[in-house]
Amino acid sequence: MKPKRLVIALGGNALEDKNMPSTAESQLEVVKKTCEFIAEIIYLGYEIAIVHGNGPQVGRIMLASEAAKDVTPVMPFDVCGAMSQGYIGYHIQQSLKQVMAKRNITMPVVSIITQVIVDKNDEAFQNPMKPIGPFYTEEESKKLAHERGYTVKEDAGRGYRRVVPSPMPTQIVEIDTIKTLLNTTIPIACGGGGIPVIESENGSLKGVAAVIDKDLVAERLAEDIGADILLILTEVEKISINFKKANQIDLSYLTVDDAKKYIEEGHFAPGSMLPKVIASVNFAKSSPGRKAIITSLYKVADALEGKNGTVIECK
């Protein structure tokens, strides 16, 4: 019997622990623990591809580059994104191979520096909303806007941050390579949502300062490789309506129509649970028999057995 194929979208808690220092060494320790759960999925017989976020990491890379501006030129944001794909992928490759070996699983693991095409006319480019990097004072923000052309906005009373567009993914450039590897290799792809690029009239690609949502590009990847399951791992075991209110309800199962209804009612926070639910809906309705599961990294085996998590299907 052909193994079920799934795409795993790793949330921030799978890469960093907010109670630990923001060092590469600390991140590696967290990734090692995460890979124990991923190895369990492989041991259960699933064929997988991995997508990861990069929010804090790319912010620190950018901050380091800006801090060294008097010594070496500042790296553009798309290049910082590529750097984050490389070093996070390296940590996952190293850690996953180690934990797989303990289970006598021999399979290559490789990171693919992945570009994702976005529409240069996407409305998101007219309304940058995605905060990246450090906080600034109002005076610093005005200086950055003047000197570097950054769009800077106040962020929830905590200070000012650079914001960039968050366009929709339309095409994964390296998809053929990913498909070729799948039967023999575990690919780590579309890290941080992929490096956003736009097509020029002559067909060449150009990187842009933007952030593609990691869950939405994981859905694009899952469709493209013919996955059976989109597995979105986050900090909560199940999604909820009326989140953090007295009448909170945790949801074990949703039809696509149910999920759309709750989206319209505003139950899911933008930039948090909303893109996860949208990605799940898009995947579940893309082809008969497909389903999405949203759950905690620590409950992933139970979720795959139907004992935990939120399942979204098209009925």
Interatomic CA distance for residues 23 and 226, integer angstroms: 36
What sign does the dihedral 72-78-81-86 (CA atoms) show? Answer: negative
Count Cα neighbours of 188 within 13 Å in the Cβ-side half-sphere: 27
Catalytic residue among 89, 191, 214, 309: 214
Q: Is 206 helix (H, G, I), strand (E, B) or coil?
A: strand
Alpha-carbon distance of 20 to 3, in angstroms, equals 37
Q: List the catalytic residue out of 54, 89, 194, 276.
A: 276
- Which residues, other chains included, contact 53 with Cβ-Cβ below 8 Å and sequence gap of 6+? 10, 11, 12, 15, 192, 193, 214
Question: Is 193 assigned a catalytic role?
Answer: no
Are the C-beta atoms of 210 and 163 separated by less than 8 Å?
A: no
Give the tokens for residue 200. Answer: 């020029």
Pairing mode of beta strands 5-10, 109-111: unpaired
In whole angstroms, give the CA distance from residue 258 to residue 28. Answer: 39
Point out the catalytic residue in the list 12, 97, 143, 299.
Answer: 12
> Measured between alpha carbons, how far is 294 from 32 in angstroms, rounded to an integer?
21
For 36, the token pair is 């124990």
Of the residues 11, 89, 130, 133, only one is catalytic, namely 130
Judge whether 153 counts as a catalytic residue.
no
179 in active site? no
- Give the relative orientation of helices 214-224 and 273-284 as an angle to the nearest 10 degrees: 10
Question: Could you confirm whether 260 is annotated as catalytic?
Answer: no
- C-alpha separations of 174 from 17, 86, 170, 225, 303 in Å: 31, 15, 13, 12, 30
Indicate which residue of 11, 13, 89, 193 is catalytic.
13
Any catalytic annotation for residue 271?
A: no
315 forms beta bridges with none
253 burial (CB, 10 Å; 0-12 / 13-18 / 19+) is middle
* Residues labelled as active-site residues: 12-13, 130, 214, 276
